[in-house]
Copies of this chain bind each other. A is one copy, B any other.
């Protein structure tokens, strides 16, 4: 087979060079500055204004990786990267992604590539069992539930919300056939924690429904009593509560909404409970963390990101539902060009009905290549000048200098300007807080110790300046 610009023989050679480049990059990532020095617009000046008439040689392209790309990369897999949340990476997952790219099938239906669909269903059952999810969430051979790989947790939140919207409209119309969909939707109200990820609010915006934020307790968790009071208030106003997105491991501080209080309320009120455990979910495989998931039995859907912690490269956000009919019902469209012979048999899953995009990659391949995860433990040494701003449960530490928000903003600015480590802030109860998330697979305790020493030193400099 001859290809444009590169034949199989050249791919064999270049592919092996690339494998070595990747191994070199990851083995030596510590030596690269974690956050780049470039200014906005840096890249445009480094390459031509238009695509060259004659393609560059492959050697030129490779040279451009170090000349053009790498100077502008934020190295998420550096052991000095403590920003946002981790994104996973492992060699086996990379091998699987290579294979997935080569097979290059688009798995929107069972027929479009049976292996792509079936491996996904079975892998999600495996993973669900590892998390000890209730049987209802598994597909098995005759289950009503099952799992799907979404690209991101944002999509899982949205898909669950759309399924809930559609289920509620159907339920209400069954009792009151005279009510229009528009009228019902205009009365719907969804809920989430005031600590929930911005994508939850965005899901409400996309779906065109009201979204209310529930105030959290001193641990930044949603409690049943607060939620109940809000529901009563909204029902008195004639609104229809229909969806609650609980968070396990919030983005600002890794707080856990109180599922065992909230779940029964949702069930009694016929409110769809979705659990967004994007960050924390991976930990539930460890028996010592599994109690944090108690209450999942009340949920309609549950989601977490193996691509954060489970050594599976982005994107791989796993979602389970108890009743697949609910989710399919929200989306199903069956044009003739997507129909196939096995469509109506119960064993067949057409994942296009489970997600926002039509097309999908063969992502389950990377799930069957990982091995068991290792739980992280972070030792934050005591320093009287600092305070811890939220419980440390998993791999995130929220802290600040005792003092003003301005002081802490300056501290963070200096830390990030020094370019040794990289972290991002959050706001907790009106206070500006620094988030230290252990991210890279290669982070060892000496890196964390170094990072703390570095932060303490910058803090000392800052305090000294202020005293003068």
Cβ B40 vs Cβ A347 within 8 A: yes
How many copies make up the complex? 2
Cα(A72)–Cα(B114), bound, Å: 5
**Bound-state Cα–Cα, A15 to B127, Å:** 26
**Chain B residues positioned under 8 Å from A5 (CB to CB):** 90-92, 370-371
Chain A interface residue number, banded: 35 or more
Instruction: Give per-residue flags for A339-379: 1 if the beta carbon is below 8 A from chain B beta carbons, else 0.
Output: 11110010110000000111101000100111111100000
* A154 CB–B CB distance under 8 Å: yes
Of A92, A103, A119, which is in contact with the most chain B CB atoms at under 10 Å from its CB?
Answer: A103
Partner of A95, one of B15, B97, B110, B331: B15
List B contacts of A154 (CB < 8 A).
356-359
Cβ-defined contact, B22 with A111, below 8 A: no
Complex Cα spacing A11 to B441, Å: 16
Chain B residues contacting A442 (CB-CB under 8 Å) are 1
Q: How far is the CB of A65 from chain B (nearest CB, A)?
A: 7
Bound CA–CA A126/B44 (angstroms):
11
Q: Is A36 an interface residue (CB 8 A)?
A: yes
Q: Using Cβ atoms and an 8 Å threshold, which residues of chain B touch A26?
A: 1, 8, 102
Whether the Cβ atoms of A152 and B76 lie closer than 8 Å is no
Name the interface residues of A160-212: CB closer than 8 Å to any CB of B.
Answer: 162, 165, 181-183, 185-186, 197-199, 201-202, 205-208
Whether B374 contacts A91 by the Cβ 8 Å rule is: no
Q: At the interface, yes or no: A112 with Cβ under 8 Å from chain B?
A: yes
> Which of these, B118, B356, B365, B441, contacts A42 with CB under 8 Å?
B118
> Which stretch in A214-222, A262-270, A288-296, A308-316 binds the other chain?
A308-316
A65 is contacted by which of B99, B313, B337 (Cβ under 8 Å)?
B99
Contact A314 B43 (CB under 8 A): no
A425 at the B interface (CB under 8 A): yes
Verify B356–A73 contact, CB threshold 8 A. Answer: no
A and B contact pairs by CB, cutoff 8 A, 27 listed: A1-B26, A4-B441, A5-B92, A5-B370, A11-B19, A12-B23, A15-B15, A15-B19, A19-B19, A39-B342, A44-B121, A44-B141, A58-B92, A61-B92, A68-B115, A73-B103, A75-B103, A76-B106, A77-B104, A84-B112, A94-B102, A155-B357, A158-B356, A198-B333, A315-B361, A336-B426, A337-B425
Q: Which residues of A contact B (CB under 8 A)?
A: 1, 3-12, 14-16, 18-23, 25-27, 29, 36, 38-44, 47, 50-51, 55, 58, 61, 64-65, 68-77, 84, 87, 89-95, 97-99, 101-106, 110-116, 118-119, 121-122, 126-127, 129-130, 141, 151-155, 158, 162, 165, 181-183, 185-186, 197-199, 201-202, 205-208, 251-252, 311, 313-315, 330-331, 333-342, 345, 347-348, 356-359, 361, 365, 368-374, 413, 424-427, 432, 435, 441-442
